[in-house]
Structure 1
Amino acid sequence: MAEAARHDAWRAGDSYDLYMGRWSRQIAPLFLDWLDPAEGLDWLEVGCGTGALSATILARCNPRSLVSLDPSEGFLAKARANVADERVAFVAGDAQALSVESGSKDMVVSALVLNFIPDKEKALAEMRRVARNGATVGFYVWDYPGGGVEFMRAFWTAAKALDPAAADLAEDRRFPFCTPDGLTDLAGKAGFVAVDCTKIEMPAVFRDFEDYWHPFTLGAGPAPGYCMSLAPEARQRLMERLRDSLPRGEDGSIPMKARAWAVGAKIAR
């Protein structure tokens, strides 16, 4: 396993929910507002994780059907527990080889997962393949290169100050394509035309330092995986550096922001 990827422990659904799931649930409605889909459509979600976007599609878009795929059985189990709706089927699947009939979906979407797929161009080509004529394909990823996920940026800034080698594990270095130009270029290589890209931004406010720090101790994701790989003394130094450097509101909260780039395209055959 590559050194940079060895901390990507994504299989623990409960831990992921505490680390990123809560922000995924908040940004999902903003993405769907931008897509502005009609009701009664057949949807496919690629990389559903613990079901944040799935639940939002069901609540806001009144789909006729929704198939939500993910390779992680741990995530699928959490998604099934989180989202009880007869319109959705949570199914194990590979984004690079979708077990879905060509031209069978009206909406094909993916939330915050493309950067973790080895062959991104193939995954996007698969999403295009299963879309009907006139369908919409849309996806979004966090703005890692621009420091758009401020709580991650703060973590890695502190980690790199104590351990310069941590720079190789940070998302901004690992996912440099997560920019408007990088994403639209990737979509074009996968066969999409008339690609649109927009910024989605939201608050990411932590109640207090414990609310900020605890998810990093659960091991789900690159930063938490790195955190828990440290010796206890090194982890304590990292915690103290963060505690002393993070912004604070008058009520002790930690106000931050999170930004993603969303990409969408209509399919014309």
Structure 2
Amino acid sequence: MGDVWAAGNAYEAYVGRWSRPVAAKFVRWLTVPGDDRPGVAPGRRWLDAGCGTGALTGTVLAAAAPAEIVGVDMSRGFLAEARAHLPAARFVAGDASALPLAQGRFDAVVSGLALNFVPGSQRAVDEFARVAAPGATVAAYVWDYATGMQMMRHFWDVAAEFDPAAAEQDEGPRFPICHPEALARAWTGAGLRGAETRPIEIPTVFGDFDDYWRPFLGGQGPAPAYLARLSPDKRAAIRDRLDARLPRETDGSIALTARAWAVRGFKVA
């Protein structure tokens, strides 16, 4: 009963479209110089670990002017989607906790919405640090599943009313890494310096209930995979309860928000 990550189009409809605006704010945070540190300059080598369909990879290409960007993911279906849309990047099949890449190669190592899905997430952060060059920025973002990712929070709260077993699949309690304190500890534990976290929040507006519900039927990710295993009657009951409960604007749209937690640090030179 694991999570399903294979079909790029279904993932894009479910989460990929919301990852892109988060990625834009995240990359800006890394590249714009601040009072306390320089930003990642143009012409640097980037790695996107757990790149999925390429939402973050594409943002780096568009906004950071990298000399090179490599994306690594275990899903060959996601990698096929990424390659089709991002020919300027290089993509490699691999595990974020055992990256098939040389030590000290990258000036920026990033990961978007993937770290919590890696068994033993500290091993992945250790790998991020291993492949980072001296002085490199190492950063990631994950959804705030517990309270901040409202489209999923509404779903799991309703699912639990019909099925107590839903709690076992709910990303909120499943992924303790998705909190700022846990992220900071993981970065410090990997020997990265200056670890800091910040929230990134975006609007997630659905045109109507079907726009909200249809992506949950695509089978990609914990909630859609859980839903696909239910009987038609139980799926219909969850759908109807959500339809009645979700807030509506006067035009019938559903205006929610999504919050991610981001973390960054740097490798000692």
Using the size of structure 2 for normalisation, the TM-score is 0.95
Q: Aligned to 1:195, what secondary structure does the other structure show?
A: strand
Comparing 257-266 and 159-168, the one that deviates more: 159-168
Q: How much does 1:30 deviate?
A: 0.6
Match of 1:35 in 2: 30
The answer on 1:69 being equivalent to 2:72 is: yes
1:172-191 alignment to 2 at 5 Å?
172-191=172-191
Structure 1 distance, partners of 2:172, 2:78, is 25
Q: Aligned to 1:173, what secondary structure does the other structure show?
A: helix
Conserved? CA contact 1:44–1:67, under 8 Å: yes
Q: Aligned to 1:202, what secondary structure does the other structure show?
A: strand
Match of 1:17 in 2: 12
Q: How much does 1:80 deviate?
A: 1.0
Match of 1:208 in 2: 208
Match of 2:115 in 1: 114
Q: Which amino acid aligns with 2:94?
A: G
Matched pairs, number:
261
Structure 2 distance, partners of 1:190, 1:134, is 14
Q: Where does structure 1 differ by over 4 angstroms across 4 or more consecutive aligned residues? A: none
Q: How much does 1:268 deviate?
A: 1.0
Structure 2 distance, partners of 1:55, 1:180, is 25
Structure 2 distance, partners of 1:224, 1:266, is 36
Conserved? CA contact 1:43–1:107, under 8 Å: yes
Unaligned runs of 5+ in 2: 32-39
Conserved? CA contact 2:47–2:109, under 8 Å: yes
Conserved? CA contact 2:121–2:177, under 8 Å: no
RMSD over equivalenced CA pairs, Å: 1.0
Q: How much does 1:177 deviate?
A: 2.8
Conserved? CA contact 2:142–2:178, under 8 Å: yes
1:46 aligned to which of 40, 49, 55? 49
Structure 2 distance, partners of 1:196, 1:125, is 17
The answer on 1:8 being equivalent to 2:9 is: no
Q: Aligned to 1:99, what secondary structure does the other structure show?
A: coil
2:63 aligned to which of 30, 49, 60? 60
- Identity, % of aligned positions: 49
1:124-163 alignment to 2 at 5 Å?
124-145=125-146, 147-163=147-163
Q: How much does 1:220 deviate?
A: 0.6
Conserved? CA contact 1:7–1:223, under 8 Å: no
Q: Which amino acid aligns with 1:73?
A: R
Structure 2 distance, partners of 1:98, 1:156, is 33
Conserved? CA contact 1:144–1:176, under 8 Å: no
1:136-158 Cα offsets, whole Å, 9 max, x none, are 0001101112x110000000111
Unaligned runs of 5+ in 1: 1-5
Match of 2:246 in 1: 246
Match of 1:267 in 2: 267
Q: Aligned to 1:194, what secondary structure does the other structure show?
A: strand
